[in-house]
Amino acid sequence: MNKLILFIVVFCFGCNANKKSMPIVKINLSADKHSINISGLDNAIVQDINRDSSGGNWQSLVPVYKMPADTDLKNYQPVQSGKYILKDSIVVFTPDTPFTAQQTYFVRYYKYGTNSQASDYILGHHKLGSLPYTDLIFKQ
């Protein structure tokens, strides 16, 4: 019985050890409302993606989508095409077609920097083969 209690204590301690706090990612519309500013991204990841001259890798970190009327279908929306530019530590996204007034959009921020452990999958926090993400919603 004592071994079982010791195992549980060690397991729980291991679940919380080495957890790196995730950056707080924020989005806001630019002053002219033609683009959005994405701040708080992990600097190492941003610099790595910025080395890609094609600019296509930004969609693997922070793709932008239109929010459908039926939010159950938001995982099936096409990516909003546009241009990503890095200014200092802020990623600026300007869509190919202007944002529509009163249309809701969302940025899906993929959390590449998480320290996933086996316990995250066992406890249902993550699914095997999936990358955790957060949807950041904005309206023009």
For residue 25, count CB atoms less than 10 angstroms from its CB and return exposed for 0-12, middle for 13-18, buried for 19 or more. middle
Question: What pTM does this model have?
Answer: 0.73
Strand partners, 136: 107
- pLDDT at residue 28, rounded to an integer: 93
**Maximum alpha-carbon separation in the chain:** 66
CA 113, distance to chain mean position in Å, is 10
- Locate 60 and state its tokens: 């693997």
Sign of CA dihedral 27, 84, 20, 119: positive
Domains of the chain: 20-139 (2.60.40)
| Residues of the chain under the 70 pLDDT cut | 1-23, 53-55, 113-130
- pLDDT at residue 37, rounded to an integer: 96
- pLDDT at residue 45, rounded to an integer: 84
Start-to-end CA distance of the chain, whole Å, equals 59
- pLDDT at residue 11, rounded to an integer: 52
Q: How many C-beta neighbours within 10 Å does residue 86 have?
A: 16
Q: Which residues contact 73 (CB under 8 A, 6 or more apart)?
A: none
Contact (Cβ atoms closer than 8 angstroms) between residue 128 and residue 121: yes
- pLDDT at residue 17, rounded to an integer: 47
